[in-house]
Amino acid sequence: MDRERELRDNLERVRERVQAACEAAGRPAEEVTLVAITKTFPISDVRALAALGVRDLGENREQELKAKAPDCPEATWHFVGQLQTNKARSVVRHAQVVHSVDRSSLVAALSKAAVAEERVVRCLLQVSLASYGPDGAATGIARGGVEPADVPALAAEVAAADGLELGGVMAVAPLGADPRDAFAGLHAVASRLRSEHPGAGWISAGMTGDLEAAIWHGATHVRLGRALLGTRPPLG
182-236 pLDDT per residue, tens: 899 999 999 999 999 999 999 999 999 999 999 999 999 999 999 999 987 666 5
Inform me whether the pLDDT recorded for 131 exceeds 60.
no
Amino acid type, 142: A
Euclidean distance between CA atoms 114 and 165, whole angstroms: 11
The DSSP call for residue 75 is S
Q: Write down the pTM of the prediction.
A: 0.93
121 in Cβ contact with 96 (< 8 Å): yes
Tell me the HSE value of 55 on the side-chain side, using a 13 A CA sphere: 4
Give the 3-state DSSP-derived string for 81-100, with helices as H, strands as E and coil as C: CCCCHHHHHHHHHHCCEEEE
Q: Report which of residues 20 and 132 the model is more confident about.
A: 20
Question: Between helices 151-160 and 104-117, what is the axis angle to 10°?
Answer: 20
Residue 68: pLDDT band (50, 70, 90) is: very high
Calculate what percentage of the chain has a pLDDT beyond 90: 86
Would you state the pLDDT for residue 178?
Answer: 83
Inform me whether the pLDDT recorded for 34 exceeds 60.
yes
Q: What is the mean pLDDT of residues 25-50?
A: 96
Would you state the pLDDT for residue 132?
Answer: 44
Exposed/middle/buried for residue 63 (C-beta within 10 Å: 0-12, 13-18, 19+): exposed
Residue 177: pLDDT band (50, 70, 90) is: confident
Inform me whether the pLDDT recorded for 138 exceeds 80.
no
Would you state the pLDDT for residue 134?
Answer: 47
130 in Cβ contact with 146 (< 8 Å): no
Across the chain, mean pLDDT equals 92
Cα–Cα distances (Å) from 146 to 70, 82, 94, 96, 164, in that order, read 31, 12, 24, 21, 18
85 in Cβ contact with 107 (< 8 Å): no
Closest-CA residue to 76 (of 58, 100, 103, 91): 58
- Which residues, 6+ apart, have CB-to-CB distance to 231 below 8 Å? none
